[in-house]
Copies of this chain bind each other. A is one copy, B any other.
Amino acid sequence: MISFAILGCGRIGRMHARNIKAHPRAELVGVYDVVAKAADEVAAELGSRVLGSVDEALNDPKIDAVFIASSTDTHVDLITRSAKAGKAVLCEKPIDLDIARVEACWTEIGKLDPLVMIGFNRRFDPSFKALRDRIQGGELGRLEQVVITSRDPAPPPVQYVKGSGGLFRDMTIHDFDMARYLAGDIVEVQAMGGNLIDPGIKEVGDIDAAMIVMRAASGALVHINNSRRCSYGYDQRVEAFGEKGMLQAHNRRATTVEAWGAEGTQARDPVLNFFIERYFEAYMAEINHFVDCVEKHEKPLAGFPEGREALRLADAALESLNTGRSVRLDG
């Protein structure tokens, strides 16, 4: 049984708190939030204890693991302190918006060989995971092309966008990680962006649509397309093409119903709209993988280096967007 403290009781922290509680080999021993009310609510709902401070969690020898679900600007500090306190860490993405801070963090804690896992939940989606397993099992022969479609249902408030680090660091970061998950290390990035949806996003200097092409060290080519708006739901698809065939992972819906009528046939439901619903199984599997890693002292599928590399790709894409040049990354 692995004992968790949750640091951060916002929407996503609350979801993780419930998943930890539901896990047969995990228990939620404490919750913390700078907003006391948020922590109180989660503790009440799940029968857990409110922690008075981060240190109360880090100093408690009965707590094995901390789940960092607080705001992005606190991640580096909390990862560092938790790792030094000998806790296993599961931290929501991104590690930070500034690659220099990320590098510095790793310089400081890397030598401790801490168990740090970054919440790239999509790696645990059953369909994307099946894609990876089947690619690695050789079903496609050599992997040649990956096409990642990733479109959010609706743009976030401009105020959020302003502090988000921009589309690439905030939204595409998941797709950069998916690219690496399927195709391995990336060595070259080209990006094109547009403002097609919300003029307010342009005003704060960000884009709301993008198309990216990348080259993997293996030679495989990868395409990502992003949109901050999608009328039919949260569009999350991956296509992997190789020498011997193709594997596609498609969207998820609430039912299997198909409707036939004079206007159209085989019409299915809109796709699941909300990320917590769409990735419900993935979030459960993510916790489960982390618990496994803590129990068995194994490296997580998405560790600190994965968080850092995804941010490096976001930075490279931004440089390409700004310069119109293809950007090469060192190995």
Contacts and interface: CB of A to CB of B under 8 A. Distances in A.
Interface string A190-209: 10101111000000000001
Contacts of A248: 257-258, 260
A259 B145 contact: no
A269 interface: yes
Interface stretch (A29-37, A81-89, A102-110, A221-229): A221-229
Contacts of A131: 257
A126, A197, A215, A221, most chain B CB atoms within 10 A: A221
A177 to B, nearest CB: 19
A99 interface: no
Contact of A209 (B212, B221, B249, B269): B221
Interface stretch (A67-75, A161-169, A238-246): A238-246
A215 B260 CA distance: 23
Contacts of A264: 259, 264, 267-270
Contact of A324 (B139, B223, B326): B326
A194 B256 CA distance: 30
A257 B326 contact: no
A213 B231 contact: no
Given A192-B326, A194-B219, A232 B265 contact: yes
A49 to B, nearest CB: 19
A99 to B, nearest CB: 22
B144 A196 contact: yes
A159 B190 CA distance: 32
Contacts of A220: 194, 196
A265 B268 contact: yes
Nearest to A141: B231
A289 interface: no
Given A257-B247, A259-B245, A260-B246, A225 B326 contact: no
Given A251-B256, A257-B247, A261-B244, A192 B196 contact: no
Given A209-B145, A213-B213, A219-B194, A231 B261 contact: yes
Given A219-B196, A227-B144, A265 B269 contact: yes
B247 A144 contact: no
A314 interface: no
Contacts of A229: 243
Contacts of A235: 246
A265 B130 contact: no
Given A192-B188, A213-B212, A227-B145, A245 B221 contact: no
A262 interface: yes
Nearest to A239: B149
Given A130-B255, A257-B131, A326-B324, A221 B247 contact: no
Interface in A132-185: 134, 139, 142, 144-145, 147, 149, 151
Contacts of A139: 259
A302 interface: no
A322 B232 CA distance: 39
Complex A-B, nearest 7 residue pairs according to Cβ-Cβ distance, in ascending order: A245-B261, A267-B267, A264-B267, A324-B326, A246-B260, A250-B256, A127-B255
